[in-house]
Amino acid sequence: MHISPVLWQFLVKWLNASALFPREASTIAPYADALYFFLLLITVVGLSVVGALIFGFAIRYRKEKHPVAVQVEGSTLLEATWTIIPLALFLICFVWGALLYFRIYNPPTNAMNIYVVGKQWMWKAEHQGGQHEINALHVPVGRPVQLTMISQDVFHSFSVPDFRIKREVIPGRYSTVWFQATTPGTYHLFCTQYCGTNHSQMIGEVTAMTPDDFQKWLQASTSGMSLAQNGERLFASMGCNACHTGTAGSRGPNLAGVYGSKLQLTNGSEVLVNDAYLRDAILNPSEHVTAGYSPIMPTYQGQVSEDGLIDLVEYIKGLNSNYRIQQTLVTSQSDQTAPTTPAGVKP
C-alpha cells in the first residue's frame, strides 16, 4: 500500500499538532515507537479476533437455534494454538523490551554528563563548566548526553516525551538517563510524578542546538567557576584537605585517582567508587570506612546541599594528584597563622 508523501506529511504534522503523538527527536525514539506500535498492533488484532469470535458464537449458538444445550468437545490442536501464539507474542515483547531497556539505561562511555536537581517545584541543571539553568536544559545535537539526577525533597519524574525518556528522580539517590538529540529545536520538559501543590507548574524546556551554537551558549553562560572548582573551594572550607592529604600518616585515605577504583572497607567488603558512593561516603562516612583508617570522619548530613555534594563529587572525580590539596592546605594554614592588623593602624 502506497501513501503519497503529501498525505504522510499531513498525518505526521496532524499527530504532532494534536499532541496525540510526540515528535521523534532522539536516536532512541524510533526504537521505542516501533515497540509501541507493535504492542498496539497485537492489541488491536487480538481485540478484533476475540470480538469477532464472541459475536459469531453469539449468533451461531443463540437460544432460538439451540434451545437445548449441546456438549462441545475440546480440541487439543485448538487449545495448543491459542496457548502457543500468545506465549510467542509475549516472549517477543519481553526480549524486545529488554533489549530496548538496556539500550536506554546504558549510556555510551563518551556521553557528556549534566547534573539535574529536582526541587519543589523546579528543575535545576548544572553543567560541568559551571553553567546553571532553571527549568531549562541546553544540549548539543548529535552527541550523547547523560543526566545524573537527584531530588532535594520529594519524588519527581523527569520526562521529555519527544526524546522518549522518563526517569524517576529520587531523594537521596542518583538516577541516570541518557539521550542523543537528532533535531535542533525546543522540546517540552515535564515532571510526571505528583510532587505537591504546584506539580503542574514544574515544567521547562530542553533546547537542542547545533554543536557550534552549543559552544557559543556555553561560553556566554559560564559563571567563571566550574563545578570542580566550586568543589575545591568547598573541600577546603570544610577542612577536608586536613585529613585527605595523600601523605604518609594522613588521617584520611588518599583521594587522588580513587574514582573508578575498588576500595577495601574495614568490614571486609569491596566497593566501586562512583558518584553514588562518593556522595554516600560524605553523608554517612561511618558506613564506608576504608580499610586501614579509623572512623573519625564526621557526617555532613544536613550541612551540605545537593548542589554542594555535586561540586564535591566532581572535584574528587577529577583528582589525579594531591598537589592542589596540599596547596590549599598550606594556604589555609597561612591564613590562620597570619597576624591581624589592629583597627585604625596602617600596615
pLDDT 10s digits, 203-236: 999 999 999 999 999 988 877 788 888 888 888 8
Which amino acid is residue 265, in one-letter code? Answer: L
Beta-strand (E) ranges in 180-335?
185-191, 203-209, 262-264, 270-272
Q: What pLDDT, on the 0 to 100 scale, is given for residue 331? A: 56
Angstrom distance (rounded) from CA 50 to CA 30: 30
- As to burial, measured by CB atoms within 10 angstroms (0-12 exposed, 13-18 middle, 19+ buried), residue 204 is buried
Please tell me the predicted confidence (pLDDT) of residue 301: 84
- Name the band, by pLDDT with cuts 50, 70 and 90, for residue 300: confident
Asked whether residue 18 is assigned to any structural domain, the reply reads no
Report the alpha-carbon distance of residue 145 to residue 221 in Å, rounded.
18
Comparing 104 with 10, the larger pLDDT belongs to 104
Minimum mean pLDDT range among 30-39, 57-66, 75-84: 57-66
Residues 320 and 238 in one domain: yes
Average pLDDT of the chain? 84
Q: Residue 40 belongs to a domain with what CATH number?
A: 1.10.287.90
Query: How much is the pLDDT for 34?
Result: 86
Query: What pLDDT is stored for residue 241 in this prediction?
Result: 80
Lowest mean pLDDT among 24-38, 263-277, 324-338: 324-338
CA 121 – CA 191 distance, rounded (Å): 9
Lowest mean per-residue pLDDT among 37-46, 135-144, 279-288: 279-288
Position 229 scores a pLDDT of: 87
Given 105, 121, 138, the domain boundary residue is 105
Specify whether 140 is located in the same domain as 72.
no
Residues 82 and 151 in one domain: no
Question: Do 313 and 216 sit in the same domain of this protein?
Answer: no
**Residue 119 placed within a domain:** yes
pLDDT band at 324 (very low <50, low <70, confident <90, very high): low
In a domain, 57, yes or no: yes
Does the pLDDT at position 307 exceed 50? yes
Kindly state whether residue 213 falls inside one of the protein's structural domains.
yes
Confidence of residue 4 (pLDDT cuts 50, 70, 90): low
Whether 11 maps to a domain, the answer reads no
> Are 296 and 251 contained in the same domain?
yes
Do 231 and 212 have their domain in common? no
Q: Is this structure's pTM higher than 0.75?
A: yes
- What average pLDDT does this structure show over 87-92? 94
Q: Are 244 and 302 in contact (CB under 8 A)?
A: no
Ranking 57-61, 72-76, 78-82, 327-331 by mean pLDDT, the lowest is 327-331
Is residue 57 domain-shared with residue 153, that is, in the same domain? no
pLDDT (0 to 100) of residue 82: 86
Question: Is residue 3 one of the residues assigned to a domain?
Answer: no
Euclidean distance between the first and the last CA atom of the chain, given in angstroms as a whole number: 91
Range of the domain at 54: 23-105
Considering the domain architecture, whether residues 125 and 216 belong to the same structural domain is answered as yes
331 or 322: whose pLDDT is higher?
Answer: 322
Question: At which of 170, 202, 220 does a domain end?
Answer: 220
DSSP run (H or E) holding 152: none
pLDDT tens digit sequence for 97-153: 999 998 888 888 889 999 999 999 999 999 988 899 999 999 999 999 999 999 998
Q: Which of 212, 321, 180, 169 is nearest to 258 (CA)?
A: 321
Does one domain contain both 84 and 127? no
- Write down which residue in 47, 82, 105 finishes a domain: 105
pLDDT at 225: 84
Q: Is residue 9 part of a domain?
A: no
Instruction: Identify whether the C-beta of residue 133 lies closer than 8 Å to the C-beta of residue 161.
Output: no
Considering the domain architecture, whether residues 152 and 234 belong to the same structural domain is answered as no
**269, part of any domain:** yes
User: Helical H runs in 191-319?
Assistant: 211-221, 227-237, 275-283, 306-317
Give the total number of structural domains in the chain. Answer: 3
Dihedral-angle region of residue 120 (phi above 0 means left; psi in -120 to 50 means alpha; beta otherwise): beta
Same domain as 214, residue 193:
yes
Domain harbouring 138, CATH code: 2.60.40.420
What is the reported pLDDT for 90?
93
Torsion sign over Cα 38, 147, 200, 185: negative
Q: How far apart are CA 129 and CA 217, in angstroms?
A: 12
Burial 86-115 (b: 16+ CB within 10 A, else e): eeeeeeeeeeeeeebeeebeebeeebbbbb
CATH number of the domain within which 318 lies: 1.10.760.10
Residues 254 and 324 in one domain: yes
* 159/172 Cα distance (integer angstroms): 20
